[in-house]
Amino acid sequence: MIRIEDVSKRYPGGHDALKGLSLQVDKGEMVFVTGHSGAGKSTLLRLIALIDRPTNGQVIVDGQNTSRVSRRKIPGYRRQIGMVFQDHKLLYDRPVFDNVALPLVIAGIGHRDAARKVRAALDQVSLLDKEKQFPETLSSGEQQRVGIARAIVSRPKLLIADEPTGNLDPDLSLEVMRIFRRFNEVGVTLLIASHDIALIDQLGCRRIALANGALQVEEEEDVVAEYAERLESEQERENWPQ
Ligand SMILES: Nc1ncnc2c1ncn2[C@@H]1O[C@H](COP(=O)(O)OP(=O)(O)O)[C@@H](O)[C@H]1O
Ligand SMILES: [Mg+2]
């Protein structure tokens, strides 16, 4: 579903946020991107969402090479990707219903069809009874669920989320992850940036660790260390007289 091939991103000013990064996320996977603040997680998600372009390398999403998606075609491209942000990015002067309907309105979908889709999305995040409320009357967890409903209202094949539980306590975080897991179970591919390692381990999902804009090599070092240890103990065993 996502192929990142030797991608680099240099921001104006010369900072290299990504350095020759390659990775792949298969259709139907639920994968986490972890890493310290500044590791390049948000940059990676922005390139996938075509909010920004790589300096070098290829970003291929569902068989489409994003470098060939022209400016004019970006809105159509984004319609197949759901995006969830840490700070919700809700419209606070609009009720929940309008917030979730926004992508459908932009896509020019008729009112009746849109209303049906909005209610289906709100149902999936258990907020059907709040459609007339304004975001600020909702809890932080509920606001995040409105953001999730908006992200999935167009039934995207791919959902990307940038630290979606960054502002939530552990119980609410788990609830959000359970919602994501349910989407995953019906075939949505998810790529989620998070540094909540405990939560990720609890879910048992694959983890891609970034450090300074590249894949973290620590795991590889662990494997080597483990191998060396095993060799040593085998040698010790051999040295023992039988
Ligand atoms: N628009 C920008 N202009 C310049 N530098 C940026 C910009 N966005 C991010 N960076 C820098 O790129 C690096 C990676 O940032 P980011 O992708 O946001 O990391 P993360 O999401 O893992 O915290 C950081 O050092 C950050 O300061
Ligand atoms: Mg970030």
Considering only CA atoms, which residue is closest to atom 20 of ligand 1?
Answer: 38
Fold entry, domain 2-80+158-239: Rossmann fold (3.40.50)
- Residue 242 pLDDT: 55
Distance 148 CA to ligand 2 centre (A): 18
Q: How many CB atoms lie within 10 A of CB 60?
A: 17
| Separation CA 105–CA 98 (nearest Å) | 9
Count helices and strands in the chain by DSSP H and E runs: 8, 10
Considering only CA atoms, which residue is closest to atom 18 of ligand 1?
Answer: 42
Q: Is the CB of 17 under 6 A from ligand 1?
A: yes
Q: What is the mean pLDDT of the chain?
A: 92
Q: Is the CB of 88 under 6 A from ligand 1?
A: no
Q: How far is CA 228 from CA 149, 217, 219, 221, 234, in A?
A: 49, 17, 14, 10, 10
More confident residue, 232 or 131: 131
pLDDT tens string 29-81: 999 999 999 999 999 999 999 999 999 999 999 999 999 999 999 988 998 99
Predicted model pTM: 0.88
**E strand map for the chain:** 2-10, 16-25, 30-34, 56-61, 64-65, 81-85, 158-162, 189-193, 206-211, 214-215
Distance 43 CA to ligand 1 centre (A): 6
- Residue 35 pLDDT: 94
- Residue 88 pLDDT: 81
| Domain range annotation of the chain | 2-80+158-239, 92-155
pLDDT tens string 128-168: 999 999 999 999 999 999 999 999 999 999 999 999 998 88
